[in-house]
Structure 1
């Protein structure tokens, strides 16, 4: 059996259509969780959506969500924890643009997970 890792998703990776486009399959439903020490922001979409991506009504085509580290008392960011295979994580890395970097975090539920946040500039 392939070892799994956890990914905290707070934006488009929660959408089953995006999951299928990125991973080639929908992810398990995942568990709700929240992440502190970040604030949710948005960045403009630089590229058009992938042709085979069936965009849902919830998907914002003009901006992507992004997490910015903060020391302010920002409200926790809601999201979901998804178990991924190492191959899924590699696919997510390839999909995320230069604006993002992957870091390890501990969620409010105490889970150790990966999350994509704003890249340092």
Structure 2
């Protein structure tokens, strides 16, 4: 079964995709509405080594008019989605959101 995953951050990086999914994943531009982009400091050494940074973007819901976040949507397998869950740290939780283009995709947002 194919899952849609929206990424606005490090999962778009080829090196993170290779480390997480074992391959580079083709994607297409899209956006989600009702969120603002913020940042979080990561302490997990594996995630820092994989992404090359301890500062990662994170989404926070907002009712600010016009709020949206651009990113990429990827079609991945359920096994790859589980691998993405393993990559993301406890600051994130995965939810389903509608994409600007219409379909619903998984995305990682602020867990707090």
Question: Do both share a fold (TM > 0.5)?
Answer: yes
Query: Distance in 2 between the 1:45 and 1:99 partners?
Result: 8
> Bigger radius of gyration, 1 or 2?
1
Matched residues, number: 112
- 2:28 paired with 1:31: yes
Distance 1:12 1:33 in 2: 16
In structure 2, relative to structure 1, the CA distance for the partners of 1:52 and 1:39 (3 Å cut) is: closer
Correspondences of 1:1-121 after superposition (within 5 Å): 3-28=1-26, 30-49=27-46, 53=50, 61-120=53-112
Summarize deviations over 1:22-61 as a string: whole Å, max 9, x none: 1111112x110011100000001213355974x6xxx6x1
Query: 5+ residue gaps in structure 2?
Result: none
1:116 and 1:52 mapped to 2: Cα distance? Answer: 20
RMSD: 1.8
Instruction: Map Cα deviations across residues 52-106 of structure 1 (whole Å, 9 max, x no partner).
Output: 74x6xxx6x1300000011112531110010010000000011111000000000
Unaligned runs of 5+ in 1: none
Change (3 A) 1:31 1:68: same
Q: Check 1:72–1:51 CA distance in 2 against 1; reply closer, same or farther (3 A cut).
A: closer
TM-score (norm 1): 0.84
